[in-house]
Structure formats: C-alpha cells, structure tokens
Structure 1
Amino acid sequence: MQELETELLHLAISKGKKNTFVQIPTASSHEGQSRREHWQSLGREQADRIGSQCVYLPIHEREDAFNLDFLDLIADAGLIYFSGGDPHRVAEIFSGSPLWEEIIKQWNSGTSLAGCSAGAMAFGGTIMGLRRSNHSPGLSLLPDIEVIPHYDKMLGWLPERVASFVLKSDSQSVLLGIDEYTALVHTDSWRRAGRGKVHVLRGSLDFTE
C-alpha cells in the first residue's frame, strides 16, 4: 500500500504537518522482542520507500499510553500508522489515555491516520471476536463501523464465525469486509483503494471504487 501511504502523508504535509511516519506496534508487541524488531524494521523500510522520517513509538503496555514524553513525538505527524496483531489489545491499551486523546487531536487538525488489520478493527465502536469468543469495545473513532480485515481469506479460515457476524440482527452498525491489500479511505468522502474489494455486509455505506 505504498502508493496510498505516500498520498496520505503528502495530504497531511499539504495541511502543514511534518514529513514523519509514526509507527505504533502495540497490536503485536506482546509477542516478544523479535516481533517488535520485525515490525520496527518494516516501518523503517516503508518510511524510507515513501521518503519520510520514521518515528517508532514503543507502546507495549497500558502505562506506555500514559507516558507524556510520547506526546511530542506525534505532534504534527504526517502519518500515524497502527500495525497489525490483536485489535482488542490496541483498544484496551489506548482507551481513555492521553496518547489516544493526542492522536485524535492531531487527526482532527490534519494528520493522516491509518490502521492495518488490527488497527482498522480497533478504530470501530465494537471489535468483533474473530479469535475471541466475545466482542469488545473499540476506540470509537468510527463508532458505527465494524471491520472484518483479510475478508477474502477470512471466509476460508473462519466461515461460520464470519457468517454469524453478518447475520447478527441486533447490531445497528455497518459491517465491512475488507480484502487483503485493500483499504477504505476517507478524505472528503469514502473511497476504496488497492487491489481487492470492500464488501458492505450489513447496513449501508456509500463509497467510490
């Protein structure tokens, strides 16, 4: 998704933001130091490809999201990127924290914000229990949206679980299935980007292809 990330970065720069790519590895940081180093390396390589300065934020536990020293590192960032892993963990660590409040502040003033897989799931009002038995609260950046990432693969991995989410009749949220190597982007309106499809599985959402 290099082309999209470059676009998002430069959109923020055009609004006065810095040429910085802030990577947040929280979703997988519990998997050990080797995974942390893996994601840090991927972030650094992507920042190099899009011509940006990489800022790696080691938010591994909830107390890290209350570390005020990190606030300056995201001030006026061009792109803040949540990498993949466990979305429930992202919400549990960031919910109600000073760092999340600052991220929202920066986003509202022009910083681009992106989430890969777990990151995208955590932005919703509810995180679906794809691997857990129960749903859990999301960060409510987009309170009326629920996301199933890797949708084109997930149908093969967990078909019964996916079907149960689609048929859930008591939910008022929009349920989206987003294929791999695909993104749903909101600037002035919603649009699809990437090689796959965005599937509206429940509710209604208008977007351009």
Structure 2
Amino acid sequence: MPGLLALVGGDEFKPGNEEQDRLMVAAAGAGPAYVVPTAAARQGPDQAVAHATEWFAGLGLALRELPVLRRSDAMKASLADEAGRGGFFYLSGGDPGLVAQVLRDSPVWRAMFGAWRAGAVLAGSSAGSMALCSHTLVRATWPNRFRRRAMEALGAVPHTAVLPHYDTFGHKWVESAREAAPDLTLLGIDERSAAVWHDGRWRAAGPGAITVAKGAKMTRFESGAEVKGLRQPARMLPGR
C-alpha cells in the first residue's frame, strides 16, 4: 500500500512546518529515513542536510543523507539498493530543474518510488515538491525569474505542476505557467504549508493554504480541508 506523499510549499525545516512534518514522522516506514539534497547540489547540500537532520531530530526522526547530487550518483546500484530499503524520503528545496535532470528515469528514483509504493513516506519542498510532479516549472527567460516553462519531471503526481512559495512569489508564475502548459493542473502551495496525500485523499496542512488552478478556475483550500481537483498519485512511473 502506498505511503504518505507530501508536497510542501517551501521554507522547510523551520517552525511553522510542524503540522505536516509530524504527519510525515508518524507515517514513516520501518526503513532508514533519508533527506535527499539533490536540488541543493549547486547551492550547499551540506547545509540542507544539516538543517533537515536537526529539524527532524526535534520531531523524533533520525535522518541520514541519500547523497544523490549528480546523474552518476542516481545511476549507482549501491545507492538504489539503499533507497529501496528506505522508509522516508524528503527532497529538499533548491534548483527546480536539477532534481528532474539528475533523478528522472534513474535506478535511484525507481527505488525511491518503489519504496513509497510499499509504504514509505515521500515528500518534497519547493524544488523538491515541484520535481515530484509530472512537470516542474523552470525559468523561461533571463533575468525574469517569474516567467516559467514546463519541463518533464519525476511523475509521482500526474498532470500537475507545483507553484511553491505561492503566498510570496509563486502566484506570479500563474500566467506564464498557464501559457506554457494549459493542460496541467497548477498547484499553488503557500510557504510552510503542504498538500498531503494520505488514506486515499489530499488535504491541506500548515498555516497557509493550497490553491488549485485549472484553466481560469482557481480554488483555495485552508488547512484541514480536503483538496479537490488533484489527481491521485501515480501507480507506476511514466513509460513503465
């Protein structure tokens, strides 16, 4: 039976994230718990790992690093074997395109997905949550960071793209994301908040809100509400 899946809007590993993070800790599988700092590979993965381990230790969960920072790491059988035994995976924030480039169609990602299908927790924040969906949104023009284009990602949540940090700047991506990927459901997630799949439904968690945008229709869901309009997580990965 698949485990809990959480898409977090960013500003992770800090006070304010307790609601969704405690849900994750309670649902963690029996295997090792991993922070996956792939998105932070160019920005300081050691810092991401340190923040994650300290934060979750305070919630009663001991994390270790799954050191997947480049494509060659994602192709290693030894790391795939580790991931296959995992009971908890948290993909940190960072570069929204890098996670997909490194992990997509790799043995490590297939092992992580298989572990989640067998009951492990699978979570990501900001770039990590973006990568878990069918598409991630990367910068389309320079230096305008608000204009985005869609790029195929890991595919755990079909036909969906996350707009993280929705309450601070992610809402500014809506127009270009609609133009770039008109058939996708856009999922705006406020900072320190999450869309959590558990027990067969999506619900909002955290101090902020979740916004689901389909075409011109936008629906906001406050903490505790069941989130409507999102696809169920995938039963299998794209192309398999």
Q: TM-score, normalised by structure 2?
A: 0.75
| Alignment partner of 1:140 out of 149, 155, 168 | 155
> Which residue is 1:12 aligned to?
28
Structure 1 residues 173-193: Cα deviation after superposition (integer angstroms, max 9, x where no partner): 211111111100001200000
Shift of 1:46: 2.0
Structure 1 regions of 5+ residues with no counterpart? Answer: none
Identity %: 31
CA contact (8 A) 1:2 1:49 kept: no
Q: Distance in 1 between matches of 2:24 and 2:51?
A: 18
> Which residue is 2:226 aligned to?
208
Structure-to-structure mapping, 1:30-109, within 5 angstroms: 30-31=42-43, 35-109=44-118
Q: Distance in 1 between matches of 2:48 and 2:163?
A: 22
Q: 1 or 2, which has the higher helix percentage? A: 1
CA contact (8 A) 1:176 1:202 kept: no
Shift of 1:133: 5.5
Q: Distance in 2 between matches of 1:3 and 1:72?
A: 31
CA RMSD of aligned residues (A): 2.3
Aligned length: 198
> Which residue is 1:181 aligned to?
192
**Runs ≥4 residues deviating over 4 A:** 203-207
Shift of 1:134: 3.4
Q: Distance in 2 between matches of 1:99 and 1:82?
A: 13
Q: TM-score, normalised by structure 1?
A: 0.85
Partner of 1:153, secondary structure, is: coil
Partner of 2:208, secondary structure, is: coil
Shift of 1:123: 1.2
> Which residue is 1:26 aligned to?
38
| Alignment partner of 1:128 out of 137, 145, 151 | 137
CA contact (8 A) 1:27 1:118 kept: yes
**Are 2:18 and 1:2 aligned?**
yes
**Partner amino acid, structure 2, of 1:28:** A
